[in-house]
Structure 1
Amino acid sequence: MPTFSFEIDEPKRNFGLWQSKKRISLDDFLDLEALVFNWADSYDAKSILAPSLFVDYTDIGKTCWPAMSAAEFLTMITNDDFLGDPCIKTQHLLGAHYWERVSDTRVIGHHQIRAAHQVYTGPDLKEVKLKGHSHATNIHYYTKVDGEWKFAGLKPTVRWNEHEFEKVFGGSYIQTVEEGFPAKDGLVSTAAKSDPHTVITVVLNRATPTESRLCNGTGPRTLVA
């Protein structure tokens, strides 16, 4: 049987999907896949967070925090006027995504996301008040801390919304407390409920003492790894 051979310029040591410096390793890929699943499944899991996060909401008309602490991030997202509202059920479904290696300790993830929200009239979750779903492309930042990958921030870009998404974070729980439901932990927050579009801004600005500024599109890729 005839045989043939050929040669290519690239050294054999560079063969394979995971050998390029522009790609993440297989081990990192598996770890990051698990991390982004845990982020989508439990946004308030402390174990997945880096000590400092780059949180950029400028593409949706909000604020940017170049260095928000993990504690401040948790305070923001678990606020009763935001995702911590016990009248809201939500799930973030991940679509296609790809990974961009920045360094041995920094990776950027590009994710398609559908965030589904259902708001109830009260924290007993018996009667549906409204629905609101958002379709977005998220840039996520990941950093390796003590050998383990952590979620280090996000920059969402909303493509389009369904139903009454602008009313989802309208302070439903605060309203039910005022109407007679027991307050969580005996506390009642105050928010600008007259305009649902401003509620997120109120929460973000109130819950995070870290100085905010426009990030000018830089992101953690420019930080020292």
Structure 2
Amino acid sequence: MRVVIAEDAAMMREGLVRLLTDRGFEVCAAVADAEKLRSAVAASVPDVAVVDIRMPPAHTDEGLRAAIDIRRDHPGVGVLLFSQYVETRYATRLLADRPTGVGYLLKDRVADVADFVDALTRVASGGTALDPEVVGHLMRSGRDTTGMATLTPRERSVLSLMAEGRSNAGIAAALAITPGVVEKHVAGIFMKLDLPPSDTDNRRVLAVLRHIAG
């Protein structure tokens, strides 16, 4: 699996390179700013890019804007935002434009290397990986939109775990309920958010993101 890393902190960047290389990933490039990220992705077209949000020159949202450009210009490249910050302004657009092959993890909440590698692999394969805190921020930003307000607390818990990329079995284990009960909650979420079956859309992701973008 081929990876491009964009991280302006040298120690963090080199640490990611070593971590991924040791686990069999091919690191095509490791860069320190958004323009070099765009160039590296265009040159190597990796499976996935790991992107910090705040990078030179202004250290605001350069990485996030570059991630949006990458998803537009290279739709086959997965993007995993890896940051200390939750930025809802552009993150909603990043997620809602095409809610597949995308992730958003917070650096200080990733306690297990295996979890990070699993998330990166999932994003590269077209899945999603969202930190629960990120999901919480995004859901609060869209709390007044139609449909979300009708969900029960248990349905919201299921929804958050769906956004992390958990299977029904994984959700059942996390909430100490049966897979059958999870299926009923998921069906209820789809119904309340008016998400009918579709051959082209991932309802599990759209259930979290559809109204957030509004």
In the superposition, the TM-score normalised over structure 2's length comes to 0.27
- Bigger radius of gyration among the two: 1
Query: Higher RCO, 1 or 2 (CA under 8 Å, sep at least 6)?
Result: 1
Higher strand share: 1
In the superposition, the TM-score normalised over structure 1's length comes to 0.26
